[in-house]
């Protein structure tokens, strides 16, 4: 009797473990993406990189789009993949410009995104 009832009751811990990382990633990267359009620090940084300001807009748009896709259950893997691509690019750029220590920040975010993406991928496969 108790076993069948517990199977029908959704496990809230599993629900929180599924939604919290996705929402945190969505909020963080949407805010980072929006800041690419507003913060003068990004203008200076992308000018130093030399890719042009169009690349700042492109990166911001990717981060906003990836952030908005991440909470959507069926699109979350795509959103996380988009965000991971931007972080991989940031790591490569920092290392290429001789700032390997600074690459730790996007590198850590990349690892978090890869872990969240793998967890989401395996959740969707089950």
Q: What is the pLDDT of residue 79?
A: 96
* Structural domain that includes position 58: 2-125
pLDDT at 73 over 80: yes
What's the pLDDT tens digit per position in 92-124?
999 999 999 999 999 999 999 999 999 999 888
pTM flag (> 0.75):
yes
SS3 state of residue 1: coil
**CA 91 to chain centroid:** 14
When divided into structural domains, the chain yields a total of: 1
């Amino acid at each position: 009797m108790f076993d069948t009832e517990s199977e029908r009751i959704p496990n809230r811990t599993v629900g929180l473990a599924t939604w919290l990382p996705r929402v945190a990633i969505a909020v963080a990267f949407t805010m980072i993406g929006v800041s690419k359009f507003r913060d003068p620090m990004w203008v200076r940084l992308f000018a130093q990189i030399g890719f042009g300001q169009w690349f700042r807009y492109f990166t911001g748009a990717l981060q906003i789009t990836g952030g908005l896709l991440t909470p959507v259950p069926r699109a979350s893997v795509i959103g996380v993949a988009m965000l991971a691509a931007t972080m991989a690019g940031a790591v490569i750029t920092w290392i290429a410009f001789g700032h390997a220590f600074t690459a730790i920040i996007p590198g850590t975010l990349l690892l978090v995104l890869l872990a969240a993406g793998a967890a989401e991928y395996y959740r969707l496969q089950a």
